[in-house]
Structure 1
């Protein structure tokens, strides 16, 4: 056991324990209960979370389960009146001080934070073992003293393990799987061999001869092969196994039993019989086994209207897969134990009526019908309820559905089949919140209709948030000057409370949502740079693709190092495009700043500085995307003066000469130049359709005789500004005021490509703080303004008489 004194909500505490390969501590007898209470008291804790959860409403202890998957709680120390579960399940904590010391009390899981105690399995000592867990030593190939490569075929990997008195890893619980995943955290390894091999199609056995008593095969995987790999990518449901060719090259981990020094004993007769009987039961089983049926047989494996189904398991519509299934209204209550959440994997789906999925708080998170390809719904809670009426399915020729249900870790949660959201409870300023969201390729959550507004409010409230930043910024007091963070333009829907937006016209204000009281669901504005609160990030909805490691906005991204391996040499444009097409893809096209931000995340700590893009010039400085998509977005490097026929993108965060900001920008390059590259493949499928009406944009004054944007109301980046009359002779005099804004998650970058002035060009941020004072003649340079608005002023009256010609600058969001 190990006690943590930081106060976390129940799920956060469970997650910390899960990363250690354990769970919140379980108390199964009076002695262990005393030990837990004494340990907590020794650090001055008054209460601690323990590893139990009660699913049923009221005081029923029969549906209270231990977090360690050992089943129903058979020993308890509940205080009088407990468990007192109110509708959506209850977590359990121990009172440590006072007359109720040692007693258990139920409480809402995500409301109160308190200390907690983690428990991991007892193991045996081994001086030479780096990863010691539950009596076994785990040896990862990238940490073993091996000659290159550290990734190899299945048979060679097993030979290496056998040479180290071990076998390729077998798995016997979800905590063990999580423990192995933790070995590879921050290593960049995407998958490893599991120590299983097929002796019949889809029928596997462990290389170490152990019992197949745990299964985590991916229900939606269509791959085939005689070996298994385990997914270690950043997917929210990682850790699952898929079939693979045994000749493929993969990393691997060996697992060795750590011996216990005990006196040798000979089993007695009864013990020997019991051992033989155990061996008989420990035969390999088919992880994808389904019981055969005759044409007339009607069996019910559906679990329809069962009290509660503990995942992992399988449920189906009633009578599935009969040609004419009987009519039935079914409710399924599905629960996951401890630190795990629920994933529903629909492997077959054909219904006329809606299948509705609710979380444990009664929020509708998915509604599906029709004939659909396999898909999944991942939740953020311990309990799901599914309802479905099959009474008219057969009449309309539908056959029902099969759900393969399996637990999964938390991550982004699908809301209303429209939004992928994640709550951050840290109290931060608006800028820090937006930076975190953009680092994920997303933005603060944007809300564009009343249905989504209710769903986002409920989602945040269930996470314990009362106020939180959302993706909006108002430049004036008028609603038509409020913009979404996702660059989709002026807010087409709002839920501002009375008196809002209420902002200082000079600096603008950020938008947040309230979730409690009579103002629940209403928006307000606040000071971006002073006030702090939690926030919700949103990344684009995407389409399911079990073969894709980097799935974003309906596309699969394939870095060259993952296709070819890290030792392969860079390629020129033609060779790179040929490799992409061999993988049913093209060199990447880019269509938004958020997509740039996502691509940059693929290269963090990779050592790669720039990559080829899928663009070729049709004439000088005019490019087309090779995948045929429209060249409707540009993030060209303003300082690039080259004339070439291909484009490359900077993925390093270092500044160029003279503090030139080039991170994420595109520059021209020769098509014969070799470089790293990125492939992009469209995922087959359709997104849900949404209908949104567009409001009129903020009116901006443009004078075609003056492209300078001098004294315009506001310029939304990207764009260009110049001194008044730039490029003409003689220069007219005049004072210019420029107000420049970047939408939502981005700041203003001013790239001066030409600069020669007599009087100062003063640059201030939205709060009036001076950022730069510039004058004289200078080489091209950048000024980065750490705010959503930048203001420039310049008096050009003496430029002409002092042999100065003014300035030109490109403004970009960054």
Structure 2
């Protein structure tokens, strides 16, 4: 879908997200030529690419499929993050088909939204090759799975950020929800981040979503269920760039952290989203074991806060799409430490 309205990159992304889409992604030369045809009526359009550095391998697609390292059409000298970290496409003139860098906030351009392909079906919620049905009558996990099987589906699995966003848009916000089954929050509260997943009891009834393949006639057979294994949960202390959504903790959490710990956490999210950081557990030596939070990609960025002691859960929101945290403990007195979740936020 081409929009000739000129918007900032972040506003264009928000418009596409409202459709369950992203700004257009370009993965090969055929895609690149297609943009010239689709957007021929406007000279410049935003594409769904954000660069963390002036290197195509550090430019990531909004649909979470990776970087522009394997294919790109940057003009000579680009990407250039000193000019801007967002990317636009030229359809006309000597630069036709080339990508250039632009400021995500001050520059305004037309844009193209992209939805994943699907199959014809008479279901109302048809997205990315699957039909979704929303059930407001609460059921336990086993009962909900049985109901979904009668529809030739399963309880919904969510395999991409786009799919997660699509369900958030189409869920009734009244569908609200620690433990061994998973629910998806569709409300923004102090304890829940909209679009995030939470553990709940399998025996407690909740509203639920069924998912089945689109374009396939239901013959009554029950599709197989793939159980996702439980992954380990490292602290992510001194890891490389961490992309939202995710979880960070002090080392050894929920056991005590060690003396003389120095941990840096570099958080980021795709596109022009902000980051919502939620501290769910905070227990340190108040004077000397502290967490500093910076609004940007380094400890040279403006400091948002400096925290220590035993604190109730609280949240912070970045102004951009990066956030840096620094935890440091001294040589004596330890505690159970810190746990925090971080997620994209508009």
Establish whether TM, by shorter chain, passes 0.5. Answer: yes
Matched with 1:651 is: 186
Residue from 705, 717, 721 that aligns with 2:248: 721
Matched with 1:791 is: 324
* Cα deviation digits, residues 628-652 of structure 1 (max 9, x gap): xxxxxxxxxxxxxx224x3322222
Structure 1 residue 595, shift from structure 2 partner:
1.0
Q: Are residues 1:610 and 2:176 paired?
A: yes
Matched with 2:199 is: 668
Structure 1 residue 769, shift from structure 2 partner:
4.6
Matched with 2:343 is: 812
Structure 1 residue 717, shift from structure 2 partner:
3.2
* Cα deviation digits, residues 41-95 of structure 1 (max 9, x gap): xxxxxxxxxxxxxxxxxxxxxxxxxxxxxxxxxxxxxxxxxxxxxxxxxxxxxxx
Q: Are residues 1:500 and 2:78 paired?
A: yes
State how far apart, in whole Å, the 2-side matches of 1:501 and 1:721 are. 31
Matched with 1:777 is: 310
Secondary structure, aligned partner of 2:309: strand
Secondary structure, aligned partner of 1:452: helix
Structure 1 residue 487, shift from structure 2 partner:
0.5
| Structure 1: gaps (5+ residues) | 1-421, 562-568, 612-641, 686-706
Residues 573 and 730 of structure 1, relative CA distance in 2, 3 Å threshold? closer
Matched with 2:5 is: 426
Matched with 2:294 is: 763
Residue from 516, 524, 530 that aligns with 2:92: 516
Residues 553 and 745 of structure 1, relative CA distance in 2, 3 Å threshold? farther
Q: Are residues 1:456 and 2:22 paired?
A: no
State how far apart, in whole Å, the 2-side matches of 1:736 and 1:572 are. 41
State how far apart, in whole Å, the 1-side matches of 2:293 and 2:150 are. 53
Matched with 1:485 is: 62
Residue from 134, 138, 143 that aligns with 1:559: 134
Contact 1:487/1:744 (CA < 8 Å) preserved in 2? Answer: no
- Give the TM-score, by structure 2 length: 0.81
Secondary structure, aligned partner of 1:595: helix
Residues 607 and 495 of structure 1, relative CA distance in 2, 3 Å threshold? closer
* Cα deviation digits, residues 658-703 of structure 1 (max 9, x gap): x334212233333443332222120247xxxxxxxxxxxxxxxxxx
Contact 1:495/1:521 (CA < 8 Å) preserved in 2? Answer: yes
State how far apart, in whole Å, the 1-side matches of 2:255 and 2:212 are. 48
- Give the TM-score, by structure 1 length: 0.37
Q: Are residues 1:580 and 2:111 paired?
A: no
Structure 1 residue 557, shift from structure 2 partner:
1.2
Matched with 1:532 is: 108
| Structure 2: gaps (5+ residues) | 217-233
Matched with 2:49 is: 472
Matched with 1:597 is: 165
Residue from 15, 39, 43 that aligns with 1:436: 15
Structure 1 residue 609, shift from structure 2 partner:
2.3
Q: Which has the larger radius of gyration?
A: 1
Structure 1 residue 708, shift from structure 2 partner:
4.6
Matched with 2:279 is: 752
Secondary structure, aligned partner of 1:455: helix
Q: How does 1:542-557 map to 2 (within 5 A)?
A: 542-545=118-121, 547-557=122-132
CA RMSD of aligned residues (A): 2.9
Contact 1:608/1:676 (CA < 8 Å) preserved in 2? Answer: no
Contact 2:291/2:325 (CA < 8 Å) preserved in 1? Answer: no
* Cα deviation digits, residues 219-278 of structure 1 (max 9, x gap): xxxxxxxxxxxxxxxxxxxxxxxxxxxxxxxxxxxxxxxxxxxxxxxxxxxxxxxxxxxx
State how far apart, in whole Å, the 2-side matches of 1:472 and 1:520 are. 18
State how far apart, in whole Å, the 2-side matches of 1:542 and 1:737 are. 42
State how far apart, in whole Å, the 1-side matches of 2:56 and 2:248 are. 26
